[in-house]
Chains A and B, each alone.
Chain A
């Protein structure tokens, strides 16, 4: 299954001098782990980060060799299947795992990565040791692991700052207003993605990225064509 994701790209400095969005998303490779943080600890911001992670996983499913399922480890069972389908990830391919706490959740993802299954863990704590273990397991199983930082249910803050450099990249995702459609209805969702850290590269890249809903790809292009031109510092890239 493949579906196009359109990206709006803008850079505060010089848009032409920085690599394209497709290059940025190419950071997500097998044999590595990546961390995705919501910009804020609100639940609605966590949803933005979740959407980004789902998009990344959907791309990964399209490129990975075998028809292995993905594993999604979480303490809370509030991920909604039809919403996944809308973002282009077949919910049937997800193996949901409910873990009692963060350490169990991280251990579950580690076992999955070691067995060669890619997946995601929702975790508040993510220490150095856990990061090292996950990275090693991902390398052994040649699978991709995502760590979605999420505030535990009822808690006020993320339990610890992330300081592990075992991750290959660290992203911060924030919702940003979409291009409005006629009649004050919202366009496709937009997120501001910030690369806090990427191994071997300079960090601090900042760009805007727009998701596409499954089944509306062809339509999306038309909608864009009918809109006024985006501001000069925004460019659009499509990847298949």
Chain B
């Protein structure tokens, strides 16, 4: 994608193709041109020129700050869309996308048909199809689309096509090496001795003698079903029907393998080179296509089809073993029903909104419970100590009248209201977990110890309050409200 930042500016509507504009970066306080629009290049501007010089040549030059990170993100998005052609796509900023077409070429007809199709969808892209990544890179960069003899074509290309570093390339040019063919004829041992192993390695990769490691975008999952639609889909009904067909195929395949879905991603490849997705998670592994269709129907409204969707892919990102089970005579299975409800709610509410309360190994009240997954079955011990039904996450200060040293309060004031205590039990002493946190005067949970009392007021309401600190010490004891019994 030559001039990718320029293309982005045009696509975002910040500049028009018939304007002269450029992106600029600042080097040591001086702003220099980085990429040029075609009109700017025609005017004789050069990459690396300072902006003030360029303005002197072309007074109407528009400049935009270069945004390499955003450009790379946009290129990644385009790369995701390219997964419609091949599952293995590598993105190389600033402007290169590599598609591994091994084994996927026949799906697109001939090589010419593939190149023509891509050229029609990505106008302005320089496309090349070659035997390995290094050659494809070189051919795309220098505009050779599909040579008959790849080695000969490579030999004819300038040295820059190999992607050597600048210092090596300049040194070789001083020696009179201009073409890849000349470079090939040099002695390997001498090259290594003079420039290190990198130049020879690059040459070997281009010649196919050495494999190259590419960083592909998210490795495609094993369980995916995709289908191409010659007529782009626009309506929710059509999309749902297509998803239903794919879900049927996927669930049948999973059933044959004895697997169930845990996490499913539906990917929609739009006609305007964008990919949109939604995810569906499952509490328990499942492969019920009717339930799946119902969940997808709830999610489909989040998908913006743009100008139409050309390809849909259902990818099972996580699978788990799932055996067939005998269902009850009434057809409804209790655990199945619960799992279906959890899926329904969690896909509506989001992650982490459904849980079971489980005991945690701590005697500090607010740490004695934790959340567990909705299908877990925590085991609760029998609790002998009185515990409230509602617990405040942060204890609140109360003002208390209580006989010293450790009697329960006679009355207390909370939020401006005075409560007279009719009956009380306590204290239950709970000490700080010294291995967890340092003692702190601000945080009541970090005090050395708390004495808990259960208080019943004259209205019959029951409060759980505690005192931190002891009488006769430097700091006066303080009282907190921590929960309600009834």
Contact = CB atoms under 8 A, between A and B. Distances in A.
Interface string B398-431: 0000000000000000000000001111000000
Contact of A177 (B332, B358, B458, B485): B458
B460 A115 contact: no
A156 to B, nearest CB: 12
A100 B352 CA distance: 13
B382 A177 contact: no
B356 interface: yes
A30 interface: no
Contacts of A234: none
A51 B456 CA distance: 15
A175 B338 contact: no
A2 interface: no
Contact of A79 (B365, B379, B389): B389
Give the interface centre of B342, B365, B384, B485 by most chain A CB atoms within 10 Å: B485
Interface in A1-60: 42-48, 50-51, 54
A185 B424 contact: yes
Given A83-B391, A83-B485, A175 B341 contact: no
Nearest to B408: A184
Which of B384, B390, B392, B393 gathers the greatest number of chain A CB atoms within 10 Å? B390
Given A82-B383, A86-B383, A185-B425, A104 B393 contact: no
Contacts of B422: 177, 180, 184, 186
A45 B211 CA distance: 73
A117 B353 contact: no
B340 interface: yes
A47 B485 contact: yes
Contacts of A111: 341, 344-345
Q: Is the interface of B mostly helix, strand, loop or mixed?
A: mixed
A215 interface: yes
Contacts of B459: 175-177
Contacts of A42: 461
B349 interface: yes
A153 to B, nearest CB: 11
B486 A177 contact: no
A129 B454 CA distance: 41
B254 to A, nearest CB: 24
Contact of A99 (B338, B349, B380, B454): B349
Contact of B334 (A51, A66, A96, A97): A66
B337 A116 contact: yes
A85 interface: yes
A147 interface: no
A108 B345 contact: yes
B87 interface: no
Contacts of B382: 85, 214-215
Given A94-B356, A95-B356, A104-B349, A175 B389 contact: no
A116 B378 CA distance: 22
A72 B374 CA distance: 12
A189 B483 contact: no
B295 interface: no
Nearest to B341: A115
A78 interface: yes
A180 B454 CA distance: 13
A184 B420 CA distance: 13
Nearest to B483: A80
Given A47-B485, A80-B483, A98 B353 contact: yes
B388 interface: yes
B245 interface: no
A80 B341 contact: no
Contacts of B386: 86, 213
B356 A83 contact: no
B327 interface: no
A85 B461 contact: no
B229 interface: no
A115 B383 contact: no
B425 A117 contact: no
Interface string A105-123: 0011001100111000000
B354 A82 contact: no
Nearest to B377: A92
Given A68-B337, A115-B340, A116-B337, A186 B354 contact: no
Contacts of B389: 47, 50-51, 54, 79-80, 83-84, 87
A91 B454 contact: no
Interface string B344-368: 1100110001111111000001001
B135 interface: no
A192 B388 CA distance: 19
A68 B332 CA distance: 12
A211 B357 contact: no
Nearest to B328: A66
Contact of A51 (B342, B344, B387, B486): B486
A29 B439 CA distance: 51
A102 interface: no
Given A50-B389, A86-B387, A91 B345 contact: no
Interface of B: 332, 334, 337-338, 340-342, 344-345, 348-349, 353-359, 365, 368-369, 371, 374, 377-380, 382-384, 386-393, 422-425, 454, 456, 458-463, 483-486
8 closest cross-chain pairs (CB), A and B: A47-B484, A82-B387, A175-B460, A81-B357, A83-B389, A80-B391, A186-B423, A186-B456
17 contacts: A44-B461, A46-B484, A78-B390, A81-B359, A83-B483, A85-B383, A85-B387, A86-B386, A92-B377, A94-B357, A95-B356, A96-B354, A97-B354, A98-B354, A177-B456, A186-B456, A186-B462
Given A78-B390, A186-B425, A191-B460, 6 more contacts: A47-B461, A51-B485, A97-B349, A104-B349, A111-B341, A175-B460
